[in-house]
Amino acid sequence: MRRDTFLKSLAALAAAGALPNAAWANANIKMMIPANPGGGWDGTGRALGEALRDAGVASSVTFENKGGAAGAIGLAQFYNASKGDPNALMVMGAVMLGGIITGKPPVSITQLTPIARLTTEYNVFVLPSNSPYKTMKDVVEQLKKDPGSIKWGGGSRGATEHIAAAQIAQSVGVPASKINYVPFRGGGEATAAILGGNVTVGGSGYSEFQQYIESGKMRAIAVTSPQRVKGIDVPTLKEQGIDVEIGNWRGVYGAPGITQAQRDALTAMVVKATQSKAWAAAIEKNNWMPALLTGKAAFGAGRGTASWAGGAGPLMPLEGLPLSLRGSRFGLRNNDMNNDSSPTPNHRPGQLAMGIGALIVAVVLAWGAMDIPSDAGYAGVGPNFLPWVISAALGLCGVMLIREVLTGGYRQMEEPSGAARGDWRALAWVSAGVLLNAALITTIGFILSCSLCFVLAVRGLRASEGKPGGDLRQTVKDAVTGMLIAAPVYWLFTKLLAVNLPGITASGWI
């Protein structure tokens, strides 16, 4: 071969080898994180984004957080907005698969393009530092006495910490369906609830609680690994006589509709990122266990996958998830994970009843307003003004509640366990407050009657969240709060709008 021909060939080969890196360097990756900021998915996604930049395979990475329903909301948005986009990635993991099994959302992970499993991690259970309980033994003893008094906080229903809590209960002889589990849409919300004492026990990956454990704001009482995890001085559940072991894993999927070549390129980018110094630092900082797995070894023929043991072997097919997730053994019911989408009449009868009740009250109030005599004492804007305003507001609320039940589109908050029963309790307390307010307003005055209504309504809201009604001190605080709200409203109507409201004194200020 001639020397110039050899040199030209060598130059061509070098240029060809540089092309992928050049293309990578210009990639602008869009990362969907289907959870609120502060949680494990958020930490994984942002760590991967930094690693992609550090490895030189992406020029920029933008992040979007969309939490709720175990990631189902973010999953649906990613599916609809990223079709065919070779630079789009979505973080996911075992939690999402639990949501898919129990919630049956309209979009499944099997409709996306699997790229790689990245890490595995075991869960840790923590207590706030001022908790009256000191160990998992203390928690279990109280759990046996009164299962509902122990409030477990963590990710969405079906999350590994939810399943672990149910398994703990089951292993100590408490029916799993009786656990009081409060789901949150992101690790930040769960952390705030734990630190604020709004839940008894919190569960998540160690990395999410690490800074609070090290600062003494949280006390770690158990880890769900088979043996103690290196670098984490926390006893396992098995050490404490509780035969429970469960792990979590996280990975990334690509957009639907990309070609095999685009999938291969995206996979290569992710693999290269996991070889970077930035990724190694994230692994060490968060005590994650690297578990990179790509291709058919991880995803079979491209189907959605899961691994509930957090091991390093091939991932379990979606259809092979524990059958316990499909029934009520762990207190999980179909559509529990679908709280952020359309509630149906079958599992939201309380909400439907509230909507219909609001409409009935609105119609009755409007009918009665037409019979109010002209000298009823409502000055300035006419005798029917206030009843008509209340009637219109109740009617609007009723229509929105019914529409939500039948078609969906409004509800964005996930409910704690037992919310179906809470709906009826809330309806009873709020209804009692409204009726007593109407019955007593002319006797005890606007401010006191509205304060009573406020106290009962707050009691109902606590019931809907599965919280205790509160002691005498809490009731007094609610009453004072109600008066502080009612007093300026009374002043606004009587002094500015010239609408006379009932009072028990000559001045009408009570």
Give the CATH number of the domain where residue 160 resides. Answer: 3.40.190.10
Share of the chain above pLDDT 70, in %: 67
Indicate whether 137 belongs to any domain: yes
- Nearest to 274, CA basis, from 122, 124, 115, 112: 115
Orientation of helix 277-286 relative to helix 206-214, angle to 10°? 60
220, 246, 272 - which closes a domain: 246
Residues 318 and 450 in one domain: no
Distances (CA, A) of 383 to 6, 373, 444: 99, 7, 21
| pLDDT number for residue 199 | 93
Strand 88-93 to strand 60-65: parallel, antiparallel, or no bridges (unpaired)?
A: unpaired
Measured CA to CA, the distance from residue 55 to residue 269 in angstroms comes to 9
Q: pLDDT per residue over 4-40, tens digit each?
A: 544 444 343 343 344 444 444 568 999 999 988 877 8
Whether 238 has a pLDDT exceeding 80, the answer reads yes
Q: pLDDT per residue over 52-101, tens digit each?
A: 999 999 999 999 998 877 788 889 899 999 999 999 999 988 778 767 77
Distances (CA, A) of 63 to 37, 74, 91, 448, 454: 10, 12, 11, 50, 41
Residues 35 and 99 in one domain: yes
Residues 226 and 302 in one domain: no
211, 246, 281 - which closes a domain: 246
| pLDDT number for residue 358 | 74
Parent domain of 218: 121-246
Indicate whether 508 belongs to any domain: no
Share of the chain above pLDDT 90, in %: 31
DSSP secondary structure string for all residues of 482-493: HHHHHHHHHHII
Indicate whether 510 belongs to any domain: no
- pLDDT higher at 422 or 341: 422
Average pLDDT, the chain: 74
Poorest-confidence range of 125-134, 238-247, 261-270, 370-379? 370-379
Run of H or E residues at 10: helix 3-25
Rg (CA), the chain: 28
Residues 352 and 478 in one domain: yes
Whether 305 has a pLDDT exceeding 70, the answer reads no
Measured CA to CA, the distance from residue 237 to residue 227 in angstroms comes to 9
Torsion of CA 271, 275, 278, 282, to 10 degrees: 80
| Residues 6 or more apart whose Cβ sits within 8 Å of residue 253 | 89, 90, 92, 109, 112, 113, 114, 115
Write the DSSP symbol of residue 505. Answer: S
Residues 222 and 127 in one domain: yes
Give the CATH number of the domain where residue 92 resides. Answer: 3.40.190.150
Three-state DSSP at 49 gives helix
Indicate whether 486 belongs to any domain: yes
Whether 346 has a pLDDT exceeding 80, the answer reads no
| Residues 6 or more apart whose Cβ sits within 8 Å of residue 417 | 157, 179, 180, 181, 182, 331, 466
Task: Please count the other Cβ atoms lying within 10 Å of the Cβ belonging to residue 19.
Answer: 9
Residues 429 and 468 in one domain: yes
- Nearest to 281, CA basis, from 33, 55, 25: 55
Residues 126 and 236 in one domain: yes
Residues 271 and 157 in one domain: no
Residues 486 and 391 in one domain: yes
Indicate whether 509 belongs to any domain: no
Measured CA to CA, the distance from residue 343 to residue 352 in angstroms comes to 10
| pLDDT number for residue 385 | 58
Measured CA to CA, the distance from residue 36 to residue 162 in angstroms comes to 18
Q: pLDDT per residue over 159-169, tens digit each?
A: 788 889 999 99
Whether 227 has a pLDDT exceeding 80, the answer reads yes
Three-state DSSP at 405 gives helix
Whether 172 has a pLDDT exceeding 90, the answer reads yes
Residues 366 and 462 in one domain: yes
Count of domains observed in the chain: 3
Q: Which amino acid is at 44?
A: T
Whether 149 has a pLDDT exceeding 80, the answer reads yes
- Within the chain, how many helices (H) and strands (E) appear? 16, 12
Whether 329 has a pLDDT exceeding 50, the answer reads no
Residue 161: φ, ψ to 5°: -70, -30
Write the DSSP symbol of residue 227. Answer: S
Poorest-confidence range of 113-127, 210-224, 379-393, 490-504? 379-393
Indicate whether 8 belongs to any domain: yes
271, 304, 337 - which closes a domain: 337
Residues 486 and 353 in one domain: yes
Per the CB < 8 A criterion, the answer to whether 113 and 79 are in contact is: no
Tokens of 107: 């979009």
Whether 337 has a pLDDT exceeding 50, the answer reads no
Residues 155 and 169 in one domain: yes
Indicate whether 306 belongs to any domain: yes
Query: What is the 3-state secondary structure of 264-323?
Result: HHHHHHHHHHCCCHHHHHHHHHHCCEEEEEECHHHHCCCCCEECCCCCCCCCEEHHHCCH
Indicate whether 92 belongs to any domain: yes
Q: pLDDT per residue over 240-296, tens digit each?
A: 999 998 888 889 999 999 999 999 999 999 999 999 999 999 998 887 888 898 865
